[in-house]
Amino acid sequence: MKTFELSRYAQLRLIASQLTETAILTEAEALALYERNWRFLDLGTMDDEERRFLDSLVRGVGKGVLNI
């Protein structure tokens, strides 16, 4: 499973404030954070890169399902 630095995605950073910006997450951890904290996301300010990332997580890790 791929990993990435939390600082790459602004909305994810906001909902994972308990973690440092340099935290390394797996795709499964990221999707779980998005799902658990969906109500706190500001989708209107989410940039295209992060939106594509979230879509890829839902397709890959979530097998097409976003549990919100």
Answer yes or no: is 40 within a domain. Answer: yes
**Is there a domain that residue 13 lies in?**
yes
- Condensed to tens digits (0 to 9), the pLDDT of residues 47-67 reads 999 999 999 999 999 999 999
Model pLDDT, residue 21: 86
Domain range for 13 is: 3-60
Whole-prediction pTM = 0.92
Long-range contacts of 58-67 (CB under 8 A, 24+ apart): 58/31, 60/27, 61/1, 61/27, 61/28, 61/31, 62/31, 66/34, 66/35, 67/35
Judge whether 66 lies within some domain. no
Q: Is residue 67 part of a domain?
A: no
In-domain check, residue 21? yes
For the stretch 14-35, pLDDT in tens is 999 999 989 999 999 999 999 9
* Residue 10 forms part of a structural domain: yes
* Tally of domains within the chain: 1
Q: Residue 1: pLDDT band by 50, 70, 90 thresholds?
A: confident
SS3 4: strand
The reply to whether 15 falls in a domain is yes
